[in-house]
Amino acid sequence: MTSEIRQPVPPFTRESAIQKVRLAEDGWNSRDPQRVSLAYTVDSKWRNRAEFVNGREQIVSFLTRKWVRELDYRLIKELWAFDGARIAVRFAYEWHDDSGQWFRSYGNENWEFDDKGLMLHRHASINDLPIAESDRKYHWPLGRRPDDHPGLSQLGL
């Protein structure tokens, strides 16, 4: 393991769990695989849909492939539950493929962190719903979701 510390660290309070979720959302909305990988332990283990990813090198490869395929990606995460070093979130993200077909991908993630605040385990279940471009709900410029943009609950998602 490394000496890296990623605040906030467990055990989580409601406020620190919400902060951790928003930091994860911000990282993923950067669409920078290397930056995102630094939130995970060097030996982090993922299940993302039916794909298993192990360690930062595979995380970077996975995310690079993901964001080549999922264009104009915008994500919102919301805290679902937390306990000790674990957080459960629900999320929805919008993206389109290279043919211009838009999707809203819905899912849930279960996270477990080490004592330095790095994610050890990530288990993600995701479903893709094709949507018309006119049904999109996420219209902020690419990057971090603005603080005044509604979250999932406010959007009825």
Q: Which amino acid is present at 115?
A: D
Q: Distance between CA 10 and CA 84 in Å, rounded?
A: 6
What are the structural domains, with CATH classification, of the chain?
14-135 (3.10.450.50)
In this structure, what DSSP letter does residue 13 have?
A: P
| pLDDT tens-digit profile, the chain (157 residues) | 456 899 999 999 999 999 999 999 999 999 999 999 999 999 999 999 999 999 999 999 999 999 999 999 999 999 999 999 999 999 999 999 999 999 999 999 999 999 999 999 999 999 999 999 999 999 999 999 999 999 999 999 9
What is the value of pTM for the model shown?
A: 0.96
Look up tokens 């930062």; give the residue: 56
Counting beta carbons within 10 angstroms of the beta carbon of residue 80, is it exposed (0 to 12), middle (13 to 18) or buried (19 or more)?
Answer: middle
Q: Distance between CA 98 and CA 107 in Å, rounded?
A: 22
State the greatest distance between any 2 C-alpha atoms of the chain, in Å, as a whole number. 47
Q: Distance between CA 27 and CA 30 in Å, rounded?
A: 5
Look up tokens 């893709």; give the residue: 128
